[in-house]
Structure 1
Amino acid sequence: MQNSSPSWPSYTYIADPYPQRHRWRGPMSKLISLAAAEPGKLYMIARLACTNPRELLAMGLRPGVTVTILQKNNHGAVMIALRDQRFCINHALAQHILLAAVTGEVDLRTAPIGARLRISGYAPTAPSYKRKLLAMGLTPGTELEIIRHAPLGDPTEIKVRGFHLSLRKEEADALEVSPL
């Protein structure tokens, strides 16, 4: 079901058809549910404890994938970002998606607006963009701030040393950044 409103961008709404059948299994130290995750932070999906995870798996929401929590609404629904996709997951299902906090690398294109990041290097798969990024002043150790993301994720506007730059998807993916 596709939905959009002035306060939330377009998203795919996901709900569990059997919300009463869930039981926690196994140790869950340092894991939190998607419903308890903080907006603006980066998490890795550790486990799908729902009855039928096929729909989530088909959309790319599987253990080991990194997601950003964009926002929560008053009813407990959680909006997440997975690369350039946005999903809204209802509260009942969000309680059964277990996450582990990620403290290392951050994806520049899914980082929340206002996030302050430090460039840690360049992706080894994008050597052709390295020279262009260096020419723009995007050197390792440089701090930057996310100003805005375009509706379709391309381009991403950042602020570096007082200047605003727009990065295309390929350029943003070529940068490896970490939170300050």
Structure 2
Amino acid sequence: MSSPLWPPFTYIADPHSRRQRWRRGMSKLISLAEAKVGDRYCIMKLMCNNTQQLLGMGLAPGAIISILHRGDRGAVMVALDSKRFCVNHELAQNILLKELELAAVNLRSAPIGARLRIIGYAPTTPSYKRKLLAMGLTPGTEVEVVRHAPLGDPTDIKVRGFHLSLRKDEADALKVHLL
């Protein structure tokens, strides 16, 4: 079994790990250890002993991160801009996050050259969902708008190196957000 080819990353661990209790008022916050792969979060609070190391790397309150991968033993790989970090499970439990609410945009109204991520499908389009899945347009997939036809039909996109043309109904069936 081959391992995935990951870009270089920095592995971070807390040498003085001790689990701390969360205070009241943080009920909408989750730990990095509980974050879902593929979602984006804002770091709200660091409750660990080596905050200086994290701050020096840019993992500070207010930073926007994306969850890339979760390992078998609970380590979490995150992306911050162009940097990649792997945080061990003990440290991940002490980094509190708030999920970002992503505003969905219409694929047909996105500007040419825009990079988008698929977040789901419109609930009224079950017939198109199967077709979109077969084309590789799955949630979490990044797409780039190549061009729009003069009357808006079709919309050309680039997905995983391939060019696809989507009709109006197919494009409207996708829920996407800007990256």
| TM-score by shorter chain over 0.5 | yes
Residue 157 of structure 2, aligned match among 153, 163, 173: 163
C-alpha distance in 2, partners of 1:60/1:6?
Answer: 28
Which of 91, 102, 107 aligns to 2:89? It is 91
Amino acid at match of 2:92: A
Aligned partners of 1:77 and 1:91 also within 8 Å: yes
1:102 aligns with 2:100: yes
**Structure whose alpha-carbon radius of gyration is higher:** 2
How far is 1:37 from its partner?
Answer: 0.2
1:99 is paired with a residue whose SS is strand
RMSD: 3.3
- Is 2:143–2:157's contact at 8 Å kept on the other side of the alignment? no
Change (3 A) 1:59 1:145: closer
Does the aligned pair in 1 maintain the 2:117–2:177 contact within 8 Å? no
The one-letter amino acid paired with 2:156 is G
- The structure-2 alpha-carbon separation of the partners of 1:19 and 1:8, relative to structure 1 and needing over 3 Å to count, comes to farther
Mapped to 1, the partners of 2:5 and 2:53 lie a distance apart of: 22
> Using the alignment, how far apart are the partners of 1:98 and 1:43 within structure 2?
10
Q: How does 1:16-165 map to 2 (within 5 A)?
A: 16-20=14-18, 22-27=19-24, 28-104=26-102, 118=106, 137-138=112-113, 144-145=116-117, 158-160=144-146, 161-164=155-158
TM-score where L is the length of structure 2: 0.60
SS at match of 1:7: coil
Structure 1: runs of 5+ lacking an equivalent: 106-115, 123-133, 148-155, 167-176
2:14 aligned counterpart, secondary structure = coil
Query: How many residues end up aligned between the 2 structures?
Result: 129
**Percent identical across equivalent pairs?**
40
Give the aligned partner of residue 178 of structure 1: 177
